[in-house]
Structure 1
C-alpha cells in the first residue's frame, strides 16, 4: 500500500479543486445559454401567437404586405440581439476559464521552478549546464504560454469587434428596410 506525502495530497486536492472550478465555470456558461434559449423560445411563441391572430383581419393586400414586413424587421433585430448575447456569454465564460487556467499554470510553473531549484542545490559539480537548460526550457515554455494567451485574447477581441461592426451594419439595414412599407403599383409614397 502506498502512502501519499502531505505535498502529494495537497497537490491532488489542488488539481481536484481546479477541475471542479473549470467544470463549474463551463456549466455556468451552459446554464446561461439554456436560460437565454428558453427566453427566446417563450418570446418567439408569444409573438407568433400574436402575429397569427392578426392575419385573419387583413383583407387589403397593402395591409398584408405591411404585416409581413412587420414580421421580418423585429425578427432580424432579435436575431442580432440573440447573437450578441450568445457572444457575450461565450466570451465571459472563456475569460473566466482562461483566468482559472492561468492561475493553475502559474501554480504548476512555480512548483516546477522550485523543483529545479532544489535539484540544483543537490546536483553534483559540473551539472550547471543541465540546470541552466532546465531553467531555459521553463522560461521558453512560460514565454510561449504567455504569447499564446495574448494571441487568443486578441482573436477574441477581433471577433467581438467584427461582430459589433456586422451587428451595427445589419441593424442599420434592418431599420432602413423596416421603415419602408411595400407600395402597391401606381400608389404614391
Structure 2
C-alpha cells in the first residue's frame, strides 16, 4: 500500500510527463501548420509573379484603350477567384489545426480528470474517520468542475461550428456574386 505523499508524487510526475507530451505534440502540430501556411504563401507568390508577368505583357501589347480595359477586366475575375481559393485553403489549414489542438486538449483533460478522480478515490479510502464531509465536498467540487468544463467545451464547439458555417456561407455568396460584379 502506498502512502498519500507517494501517491501524490507519482501522480504529479505522471501529470507532468503527460503535459510535456501534449505540449510536444501541440508544438509539432503548430510547426506543421506554419509549414503548410508558408508553403501555401510561397506557391501563391510564385504563381502570382508568373501570372503578373504574363498579364503585364498582354496589357502592354494592347493596341488601343478598349482592348487594354477588356484585358484588365478579364484578369480581374480570375484574381478574385484565386483570392477566394486562397482564403478557403487558409481556412482549411486553420480549421484542421484548431481541430487537432482541441482533440489533444480534450484528450489530455479527460485523462488528467480520470487520474485525479482515481487518485482521490484511492486516497479517500484511507481517510481518517470524521472526514467524510470533506471527502463528499471534494467529490462534489470535482463533479461540478467536470460539468462546467463539459458545458464550456460544448459551447466552444458550437461557436466554432457557427463561425465555420458563417465563413463558408460568406465565401459561397462572394463566389456567386463575383462573376456578376466583374461583368459590370
- TM-score, structure 1 length as denominator? 0.86
CA shift for structure 1 position 161? 1.0
Kept after mapping to 1: 8 A contact 2:11/2:119 = no
Query: Hey, what does 1:144 align to over in structure 2?
Result: 148
CA shift, 1:34, in A, is 0.9
Relative to structure 1, is the Cα distance of residues 100 and 173 closer, same or farther in structure 2, using a 3 angstrom cutoff? same
> CA 1:10–1:136 in 2, change beyond 3 Å: closer, same or farther?
closer
| 1:186 corresponds to | none
CA displacement at 1:126 relative to structure 2: 2.2
Paired positions, count: 176
**Counterpart of 1:33?**
37
2:82 pairs, out of 34, 54, 78, with 78
Alignment CA distance shift 1:98-1:40 (3 Å): same
Q: Which residue of 2 aligns with 1:173?
A: 177
Residue 18 of structure 1 deviates from its aligned partner by 1.4
- Check whether the contact 1:91–1:156 (CA below 8 A) recurs between aligned residues: no
**Structure 1 segments unaligned to the other structure (5+ residues):** 182-189
* 1:152 Cα deviation from its structure 2 partner: 1.6
Query: Larger % of helix: which?
Result: 2
Structure 2 SS opposite 1:59: coil
CA distance in 2, matches of 1:126, 1:135: 16
The gaps in structure 2 that reach 5 residues or longer are 1-8
Equivalent residues of 1:18, 1:100 under 8 A apart: yes
